[in-house]
Amino acid sequence: MSARRSRADVVAEIERTGVVAVMRLHDASLGRDAARALADGGLTALEVTMTVPRATELIAELAASLPAECVIGAGTVVDASAARDVIHAGAAFVVSPVLVPQVVDVCRESNVAVVPGCFSPTEIFSASAAGADIVKVFPATSLGPSFIRDLRAPLPDLKLMPTGGVTRQNAGDWIRAGAVAIGVGTALIDAQAVRDRRFDLLTGAARYFIRAVAEARSTPAGVRT
């Protein structure tokens, strides 16, 4: 395994492309090929959720085998023990669906980027105050891009990453609203394509979302391309 990248470097890499690929796979044996396909499309931030069979093993494998610019994260981490396990395996960032202070503490102690999931403004502010590097706004399906814009008006320093409900159609809207990145699952990693080993489709989807983020960043707020 290569030397662990600093927390600040990992956060900067997530912000650079603006896309975190959320890998919820039913077959871990396809994880390496899926991850390589996403990396071939330019995606460097890959999150392996703990719902994937043998997720910790897959994280270790990807951390050791993917190009150096890739940062491998662990998702759906809901307790301190799991956080320690995935960090030991090589996770460069840890994502939770909810705010678990103990997970934040473990990550901070280990100098690993942490991205807790929150829904309400109070939760989001509390997570940021507790040391979250980026706050995952989840489930974003219920909120919409205007929520990001409205929240950042009084709290412009918040780093927000909507996840859940991010699609090809609205990817740019989240970025224009002020999100530093988007977490994308099924709209990026099509389960049937993975089962059929059509990894070229994942590469194409990765390129699409990276392009959508780049275009949104170059477009004034309120203007859609």
Catalytic site positions: 47, 136
Whole-number Å distance between alpha carbons of 37 and 31: 10
CB 158 within 8 A of CB 152: yes
Q: How far is CA 124 from CA 13, 58, 69, 81, 117, in A?
A: 22, 30, 29, 23, 8
| Nearest C-alpha neighbor of 159 from the set 206, 218, 118 | 118
Q: SS3 for 19-33, per residue?
A: EEEEECCCCHHHHHH
CB 48 within 8 A of CB 59: yes
- b/e for 156-189, b at 16 or more Cβ within 10 A? eebbbbbbbbbeeebbbbbbbbbbbbbbbbebbb
Q: Determine which helix (DSSP H) or strand (DSSP E) holds 46, and give its type and residue range.
A: strand 45-49
Instruction: Give how far the C-alpha of residue 24 lies from the chain's centroid of Cα atoms, to the nearest Å.
Output: 12
Strand 160-162's sheet: what is its strand order?
117-118, 135-137, 160-162
